[in-house]
Amino acid sequence: MSVDFKKFSGSGMTSDSSRLKLISELKKQGIKNNKVLNAMSIVPRHIFIDEAIAGKAYDNTALPIGKSQTISQPMIVATMTEILLEKNPKRVLEIGTGSGYQAAILSLLVNKVYTIERIEALHKKANHVFREVGLKNIYTKFSDGNKGWPQKAPFDAIIVTAGAIDIPKSLMDQLSTTGGILLSPVKKNDKQYLKSIEKNDEIISEKIHGTVNFVPLLEGTD
């Protein structure tokens, strides 16, 4: 997919050099997939947050985006994307559009991204950014993410960007049975763990990828 991000290159703390400094940090912290690193060097994170905090866009930290939500730490975005790409997915469902940054990264790496947001204001704002940038392989929906998007299933990969207590059965049902992977923060004993679940026919395998800290996965819409 060819998208021109040059008009969003920014200056000062939002310049290309700031972005490349972040990429260097991600490499040092263990991100090895060059496709992921390249996508994160291309997508301007500062356009997904308020201008007042744009100077912090390329810090390796989570930032507020309103409605008690955050844009994830770049290291987390890179890690989750790297895990998904190991399975070479073509169609990905994202639960929790948020700012739209994760979906934008994925859009450069897979054929189609379907993303659901339960907070209408964030849904509209992310849609505006996607249109402005010209990301045409992202399909959005304002809905309860726990229900997934059954009309578009099955998905090669599902990425949940909010902390679940239990993975909704509806999401598991929408995952491809031929090597589909679901990646989600899961809460257990007052901690959140990043868990991947792979589905091969009737065989389910799980793996933990360390601790994380996400806002909770909620039901309904707002």
Q: Which residues are catalytic?
A: 72
Q: Which two tokens stand for residue 204?
A: 């389910």
